[in-house]
Structures are given as C-alpha cells and as structure tokens.
C-alpha cells in the first residue's frame, strides 16, 4: 500500500497557499487591465489535441504525457500545457466569429508532464498563461511581452532577462530545415537515437536535445536568422521596434527554439537572473503559433501567448526576497464562560461573520484559560469574552490583544465596536 504523495507532486498547505492565491490574483488583475478574459478548459482532452497541437516529435508528446484509455475506450491525456486546449476551445466555440478580435484569454490550472522531478520541475505544476488569437500584428506580440514583464515586476521580480528569437514563416523555416539537414546528416551517427529520428522529421528539435547539447556541430549549426525571408525579417524588426518603444529590454538568441512544434515568427523565454534561483533559469516561455487554429479545423487565424508556472515564480520570488503574503490573522476569537453563554455563542459568532469579521470560537469544551490561549495562537486581533452574567446584562468584554485594553460593550454595539477597532488598526 503506498499512501505517499506521488513523485513530482506537492501538497500546498495553509501558510503556503497564500502566496499562490496572491500570484494568481496579481496575474489575473494585470490581465484584466490588458483586456484579457478568463477561460477554463478541462484537465483532460482527447489525446489528438496534444499529438497534433504540441507536435508528435516533441519530448512532451513522445515521453511526458499522462495518457490513459477510459471505460469507453477513448484515448485521453491529462493536459501537459494550455495552448492546444485553448485553441481547441476557440475553434469548437467559433470564437473567431466574434466581431471583437483578437480574442484575448488567460487561464490558470494544473498541467501534467512525466518529467524527472527536480527543483522547478514537477510532474503536476500550475501554469498561468495567456493566448491572444486573431491578429498577426507584431504590436500584439509586444503587448503580450509587456503584460508578462508587468506581472513579474508587480510580483517584485527585477532580475529578469527576456530572450527573443524569430523562427520565421513557413518558407523561412523550410529553407532553414534544409540547411539543418545538410549540416547534421554527414555526422548524424554520432548523435543519440532520438536525434537520428528527428533529422528527417523535425531537425530543429536536434538543437533542443539535452543529451547532445555539447556536440561540436551544435555550436556551428545554421542560424534561423540567416534564413528569414523579407516578410519574416520585417515582422521581427517591427516586434523589436515595439519593444524599444515600450522600453522593454531584450536579448536576441538565434538558438532559442522552444520545446513545442507549433511556433513560428516570435519565440521567447523570460529568464531569472536572480542569484540562488537554481539550475533551471527559465521562468516563462511562449511565442507565436499562426497555423494552430487551422490544425484544429478552424480558419487560418494567427495566435500568440505565454505560460509560466507558479512554482517557478515562487522560486524566483524567494531568490529575490520579494514580498510574499503570510496566513492572515483572525479578527476576533470568542471566549465563553458558562452554559448559557456557550449556547448563545453560535449566534454571536454567526452575526460577527455576517458582518464580514473573520471570527472563530472553541469547539472542544476548553476551560476559559485554554480558550484565551487559543485566541493567542490564532493571533486574534480582538477577543470577546462572554460569560453567563454578561449575557444576562446584555454586554460582553472586548479585549484588544495588541494593547491589552479591555472594554465592556453592549452586545448590540459589539459588531460596530470591533469593526471600528479593525479599521483603526488597518490605518496604523
Ligand atoms: P513551456 O515552455 O513548455 O511552454 O512551458 C511554459 C512554462 O511552464 C515554463 O517556462 C515553466 O515556467 C513552466 N513549466 C513547464 N514544465 C514545467 C514543470 N515540469 N514543472 C514546473 N514548471 C514547468 C508552454 O507550455 C506553452 N504552452 C507556452 C505558450 C503559451 N506558448 C504560447 N502560448
């Protein structure tokens, strides 16, 4: 019997979950400022969505998918990424028919890849991503990059390096592909079996091989930038010009190819240069995927997007010492003394909560002293002490925990008193 957590997964407990909520909130708020709307898609899809979408020569499809057959004999896959699913939804719901184009969407949720776990590489991880479909303007690429940098900066990340490349259009990529085959073919026997298969199917993937990355032919491989046709060159120049206008610094790296097959024109990664971030420095990846909507049976529609995992963002935030929220303290703890007070306490507590006060009480029949200790452990800002005598007199004792000040207040005035106290504390 194995009751342990599966390898490459994690539980996120109270005390840690607050930083997740915070990142998701900051990212969603930024998305809304850029007029991106949320989309939610299923966690599993028909396997073809990813074999066709992500590409069947990629590591993700060949080695990393969690694929299973359901009771109806369908092949389903836990999503390894979000772009293919969002594109599938865009086509299924004919979102291309809407007059408001581009369609700008964001999403967040768990993704699954059977990878070798290490810091920043999980088998279940949470991606936050955006996709903008329906415009081939390089200004939109720049907007997507501006949004990414904006989210990261809002989260207190400043040691960032944006790396961009162009993979060109189909004509440029075909010319580059021929050059790559000619370059690697004579010595392909020295490469791993995966690369040997990649040579004819998708030679660009060879550049992304982890096993053969130090082979001398890797460093001398033909650069895509030398094979861009005029249209692709112009596109890339316009993107760079838009980034310059926005004042977003970037470096061009012609060896950046990305691990998914759907990209063309713009490809990018945002790296963390923060000290102590760890071996995997990529925070976020993305790019343009102009043929993907057609691949899913929709009209010829361009698209661009990015995704980062919350796991890696947290690592970067910790490495940079950025602000991370902690568990919020309780506003009020209700302590009771006597049977009548205990009976009435549920109603007092309920009323406090209805007024928006985070409140709690004892459910273990603890003595008054132990109840007061519990109030301390919860770091309650106020403790309300209600005994049978007070109840009869229609009053309660309210203690402000930080100052130790204690006042007797009418039960009818309890909620306004605490609300005033909380407001005063917030202002300080
Ligand atoms: P990706 O480069 O495969 O691209 O993943 C994007 C990001 O997801 C990575 O930069 C990293 O932050 C995170 N990530 C990937 N794998 C793991 C893992 N095993 N553990 C933790 N984090 C991980 C995509 O997924 C594309 N769909 C991005 C995109 C959107 N392109 C266009 N639109």
* Domain C-terminal end among 295, 319, 343: 319
291 and 408 housed in the same domain: no
Q: How far is the CA of 268 from the centre of ligand 1 (A)?
A: 12
pLDDT at res. 17? 97
CA 250 – CA 209 distance, rounded (Å): 24
**Residue ID of nearest Cα to ligand 1 atom 1:** 285
284 and 386 housed in the same domain: no
Instruction: Report yes or no on 84 lying in a domain.
Output: yes
CA 309 – CA 12 distance, rounded (Å): 14
* Domain C-terminal end among 261, 285, 319: 319
User: For residue range 258-293, what is the model confidence (pLDDT) as tens digits?
Assistant: 889 899 999 999 999 987 777 788 999 999 999 999
Question: Does the C-beta of 79 come closer than 6 Å to ligand 1?
Answer: no
Report the percent of the chain where pLDDT is more than 90: 91
The pTM (predicted TM-score) of the whole model is 0.95
pLDDT interval class at 146 (50, 70, 90): very high
Question: Does the C-beta of 282 come closer than 6 Å to ligand 1?
Answer: yes
244: Cα separation from own chain's centroid: 27
**Residue ID of nearest Cα to ligand 1 atom 31:** 286
| Whether residue 192 has pLDDT greater than 90 | yes
User: For residue range 315-324, what is the model confidence (pLDDT) as tens digits?
Assistant: 999 999 999 9
pLDDT at res. 141? 98
410 and 314 housed in the same domain: no
35 and 76 housed in the same domain: yes
The CATH number of the domain holding residue 88 is 3.30.930.10
pLDDT at res. 280? 81
Sheet holding 66-69, edge to edge: 44-46, 75-78, 66-69
312 and 414 housed in the same domain: no
Question: Does the C-beta of 311 come closer than 6 Å to ligand 1?
Answer: yes
Mean pLDDT value across the chain: 96
257 and 282 housed in the same domain: yes
307 and 371 housed in the same domain: no
Contact 304, 140 (CB under 8 A): yes
| Whether residue 428 has pLDDT greater than 80 | no
The CATH number of the domain holding residue 420 is 3.40.50.800
Instruction: Report yes or no on 179 lying in a domain.
Output: no
Which of 107, 312, 314, 317 best tests ligand 1's pocket when mutated (most atoms within 8 Å of CB)?
312
Q: How far is the CA of 308 from the centre of ligand 1 (A)?
A: 6
267 and 412 housed in the same domain: no
Question: Does the C-beta of 298 come closer than 6 Å to ligand 1?
Answer: no
Least confident of 272-286, 323-337, 374-388: 272-286
Question: Does the C-beta of 50 come closer than 6 Å to ligand 1?
Answer: no
278 and 384 housed in the same domain: no
71 and 134 housed in the same domain: yes
Domain that holds residue 24: 17-169+229-319
**Nearest of 109, 30, 105, 119 to residue 316 by alpha carbon:** 119
**Backbone phi, then psi, for 350, in 5-degree steps?**
-60, -45
Contact 37, 105 (CB under 8 A): yes
pLDDT at res. 9? 98
**Nearest of 120, 84, 122 to residue 5 by alpha carbon:** 122
CA 385 – CA 400 distance, rounded (Å): 11
Q: How far is the CA of 123 from the centre of ligand 1 (A)?
A: 12
pLDDT at res. 274? 80
Instruction: Report yes or no on 217 lying in a domain.
Output: no
Exposure of 304 by Cβ count < 10 A (0-12 exposed, 13-18 middle, 19+ buried)? buried
278 and 337 housed in the same domain: no
pLDDT at res. 427? 82
Q: How far is the CA of 186 from the centre of ligand 1 (A)?
A: 34
Ligand 1 atom having least distance to the Cα of 54: 27
| Whether residue 57 has pLDDT greater than 90 | no
Question: Does the C-beta of 272 come closer than 6 Å to ligand 1?
Answer: no
What is the 3 state secondary structure string of the chain? CCCCCCCCCCCCCCCCHHHHHHHHHHHHHHHHHCCCEECCCCCEEEHHHHHHHCCCCCHHHHHHCEEEECCCCCEEEECCCCHHHHHHHHHHCCHHHCCCCCEEEEEEEEEECCCCCECCECCEEEEEEEEEECCCCHHHHHHHHHHHHHHHHHCCCCCEEEEEEECCCHHHHHHHHHHHHHHHHHHHHHCCHHHHHHHHHCHHHHHHCCCCCCCHHHHCCCCHHHHCCHHHHHHHHHHHHHHHHHCCCCEECCCCCCCCCCCEEEEEEEEECCCCCCCCCEEEEEEECCCHHHHCCCCCCCEEEEEEEHHHHHHHHHHHCCCCCCCCCCCEEEEEECHHHHHHHHHHHHHHHHCCCCEEECCCCCCHHHHHHHHHHCCCCEEEEEEHHHHHHCEEEEEECCCCCEEEEEHHHHHHHHHHHHHHHHHC
User: For residue range 217-259, what is the model confidence (pLDDT) as tens digits?
Assistant: 999 999 999 999 999 999 999 999 999 999 999 999 999 988 8
pLDDT at res. 278? 75
Instruction: Report yes or no on 353 lying in a domain.
Output: yes
pLDDT interval class at 210 (50, 70, 90): confident
User: For residue range 19-28, what is the model confidence (pLDDT) as tens digits?
Assistant: 999 999 999 9
**Residue ID of nearest Cα to ligand 1 atom 13:** 309
Instruction: Report yes or no on 189 lying in a domain.
Output: no
The count of structural domains within the chain is 2
pLDDT at res. 279? 77
User: For residue range 81-112, what is the model confidence (pLDDT) as tens digits?
Assistant: 999 999 999 999 999 999 999 999 999 999 99
* Domain C-terminal end among 319, 347, 382: 319
CA 176 – CA 422 distance, rounded (Å): 65
Residue 152 is encoded by which pair of tokens? 């990261």
């Amino acid at each position: 019997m194995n009751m342990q957590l599966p390898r490459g997964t994690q539980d996120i407990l109270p005390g840690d979950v607050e930083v997740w909520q915070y990142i998701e909130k900051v990212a969603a708020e930024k998305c809304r400022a850029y007029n991106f709307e949320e989309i939610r898609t299923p966690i599993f899809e028909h396997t073809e969505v990813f074999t066709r979408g992500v590409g069947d020569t990629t590591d993700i499809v060949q080695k990393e998918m969690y694929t299973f057959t359901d009771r109806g004999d369908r092949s389903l896959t836990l999503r390894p990424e979000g772009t293919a699913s969002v594109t599938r939804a865009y086509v299924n719901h004919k979102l291309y028919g809407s007059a408001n184009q581009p369609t700008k969407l964001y999403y967040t949720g768990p993704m699954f890849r059977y990878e070798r776990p290490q810091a920043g590489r999980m088998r279940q991880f949470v991606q936050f991503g955006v996709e903008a479909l329906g415009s081939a303007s390089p200004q939109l690429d720049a907007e997507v990059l501006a949004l990414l940098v904006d989210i990261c900066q809002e989260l207190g990340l400043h040691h960032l390096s944006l790396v961009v490349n162009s993979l060109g259009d189909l004509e440029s990529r075909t010319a580059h592909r021929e050059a790559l085959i000619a370059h690697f073919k004579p010595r392909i026997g020295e490469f791993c079996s995966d690369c040997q298969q990649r040579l004819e199917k998708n030679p660009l993937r060879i550049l992304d091989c982890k096993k053969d990355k130090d082979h001398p032919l890797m460093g001398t491989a033909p650069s895509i930038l030398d094979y861009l046709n005029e249209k692709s060159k112009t596109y890339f120049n316009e993107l760079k010009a838009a980034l310059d206008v926005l004042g977003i610094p970037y470096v061009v790296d012609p060896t950046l190819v990305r691990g998914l097959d759907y990209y063309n024109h713009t490809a990018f990664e945002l790296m963390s240069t923060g000290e102590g971030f760890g071996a995997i420095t990529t925070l976020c990846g993305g790019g343009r995927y102009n043929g993907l909507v057609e691949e899913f049976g929709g009209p010829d529609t361009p698209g661009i997007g990015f995704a980062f995992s919350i796991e890696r963002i947290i690592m970067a935030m910790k490495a940079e010492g950025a602000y991370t929220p902690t568990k919020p303290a309780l506003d009020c703890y209700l302590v009771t003394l006597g049977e009548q007070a205990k009976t009435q306490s549920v109603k007092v507590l309920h009323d406090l909560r209805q007024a928006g006060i985070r409140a709690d009480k004892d459910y273990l029949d603890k003595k008054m002293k132990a109840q007061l200790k519990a109030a301390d452990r919860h770091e309650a800002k106020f403790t309300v002490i209600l005994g049978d005598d007070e109840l009869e007199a229609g009053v309660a004792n309210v203690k402000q925990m930080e100052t130790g000040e204690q006042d007797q207040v009418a039960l009818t005035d309890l909620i306004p008193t605490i609300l005033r106290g909380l407001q005063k504390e917030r202002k300080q």
